[in-house]
Chain A
Amino acid sequence: MSARKLPAPQPNPETQAFWDGLGEGVLRIKTCEACGKAHYYPRHICPHCGSAETRWLDTRGEGEIYSLSVMRRGDGAPFAVAYVTLDEGPALLTNLVADDLDALAIGQRVRLAPQARDAEAIGDGPSLPFFTPSGD
């Protein structure tokens, strides 16, 4: 089975600061000055209230697993796809990196592990916001 090909994200004017943050080891999301709610993935206009008064918020990069599914077939399998609910509120779709994927569970605490895969798999694109169990 060949290695997984991870498509390189294409940063754009709405999201460049997110990818820049990951390069510095920071998971940066958007929050809204008008309604006070955070959101992910980042947008120029707040999806909760429609205000353009959004600003970047550096998260602590910690949260818990909301749900997960380990892909068992195809290139690069097995790998764990998951939603992680950040302590700042929003849930984000990610991959979980762990020595034992079968030990991962809903409710488990996880932390940001940017570029946890080897650079070869990621290629020349930006770092990716993977997560890993907090105890690791």
Chain B
Amino acid sequence: MSLRNAACIAGAFEHPTRLAPDMTTPQLHAECAAGALADAGLSLRDVDGYFCATDAPGFGPISMIDYLGLTVRHTDSTEMGGCTYIQHVAHAAQAIAAGKCSVALITLAGRPRSEAVQRFRPGAPEAAFEQWVGLTNHTSYGMCAARHMHEHGTTSEQLAWIKVAASHHAQHNPHAMLPKVVTVEDVVNSPMIADPLHRLDCCVTTDGGGALVVVSPEIAKTLNRPVISLLGAGEATKGPAGGLGLDLTVSAAAQSGPRAFEEAGVTPADIKYASIYDSFTITVLLQLEDLGFCAKGKGGKFVADGNLISGTGKLPFNTDGGGLCNNHPMFRGGITKVIEAVRQLRGEAAPAVQVSNCDLAVATGIGGSLGARHGAATIILERQS
């Protein structure tokens, strides 16, 4: 079974809040659901499939389906960290192609700025060997950057260009948490957090969320919205593999990306816009190489000199400002990657960053810890003429 043209994204909504002390997390899920369904021209009653991950409080889909007032015949609570919601689009397409549902709702929400959130379930087999190490995301991704610099000569200035490009886009987003344009000097002169990553190499932390509505092609044609079809999808996981498979310069996107491109029948050269998961600048660089936008080791040169800036560079990326400048709700940037890709394909991005004739886009992400064990999910989306 191929997922090529198996389903369409009909609704997409990014919650405008970045700080929500007076809201609840279920409320944010509900507001995102309502927003995405309104965007699609559908209602809660139309939903027959529901997708959420561990950011959904309580008993996951069982709690949320009842809270939201849904009646569904298919649920999926696949969990793969921040890229989960990219993967959910593919899993929704699988369920739709198998006839298990026809209108799938995907929600993400959380309030990490307003409440203590539990990010990991206890009892992981690696916990006794890693918790005392102090492996935060900063040091995990920092080790990836350090190794990439060691093997390929990548520089902090090159990584900084990724943040610079994101900031150029964020200035046009009224909801962006960091709307100010920054320079390479600003990034490399910001405080060191975990070598070689500076504060401005890191994404924002935000309260908020988002939602997506994935429907069958038949339903998509009945809605008064541009038809955005899934062309291909790939997913993968990667870890230290008993300590013999450690390679911090290659992410699981080296597997998920080619799988998605093969299914879609397109190549990176065909892509007009790319949503690339940007928890840190190095996250973007590795994925660009692993998806084949440039050769392994050449990512630094590829991103330099504004090559990711819409209108001037060859590969416009994260035109909403991405996680680096706009939004990274609940420490998870997967859903916002899909949302901005949908905006670009519809021609609904901010006018200053809208890619002309944007008919083919990729959204790709990493979940978990890049420097330890992580997952990757990639989808290719096309606007039907």
Chain A residues engaging chain B, CB cutoff 8 angstroms: 4, 6-12, 14-15, 37-41, 43, 46-48, 66-74, 76, 79, 81-83, 85-86, 89-95, 106-107, 128
Contacts and interface: CB of A to CB of B under 8 A. Distances in A.
Given A66-B147, A71-B194, A90-B244, A81 B135 contact: yes
Interface of B: 125-136, 138-140, 142-147, 150, 191-197, 240-244, 246, 248, 371-372
A33 B42 CA distance: 60
Contacts of B128: 9-12, 15, 41
A128 B128 CA distance: 10
16 contacts: A6-B134, A10-B127, A14-B125, A38-B243, A41-B128, A66-B246, A68-B146, A69-B143, A69-B194, A71-B138, A72-B192, A79-B134, A92-B243, A93-B372, A106-B146, A106-B150
A71 B129 contact: no
A48 B150 contact: no
B244 A71 contact: no
A67 B135 contact: no
A35 B132 CA distance: 31
A81 B243 contact: no
Chain A facing B: main interface SS = loop
Given A9-B129, A10-B127, A83-B248, 12 more contacts: A8-B132, A37-B242, A37-B244, A40-B242, A40-B243, A66-B147, A69-B142, A81-B135, A85-B246, A93-B240, A106-B146, A106-B150
A67 B126 contact: no
Contact of B243 (A67, A68, A82, A91): A91
Contacts of A95: 133-134
A128 B132 contact: yes
B246 A7 contact: no
Contacts of A69: 138-140, 142-143, 145-146, 194-197
Given A9-B128, A79-B134, A81-B143, A70 B194 contact: yes
A67 B147 contact: yes
Contacts of A73: 138, 191, 193-194
B374 to A, nearest CB: 14
Contact of A93 (B133, B138, B142): B133
Nearest to A70: B195
A56 B130 CA distance: 20
A7 B131 CA distance: 7
A107 B139 CA distance: 18
A86 B134 CA distance: 20
A9 B244 contact: no
B186 to A, nearest CB: 18
A120 B199 CA distance: 31
B129 to A, nearest CB: 4
A63 B372 CA distance: 19
Nearest to B147: A67
Contact of B129 (A41, A48, A106): A41
B144 A9 contact: no
A128 B29 CA distance: 42
Contact of B133 (A15, A38, A74, A81): A81
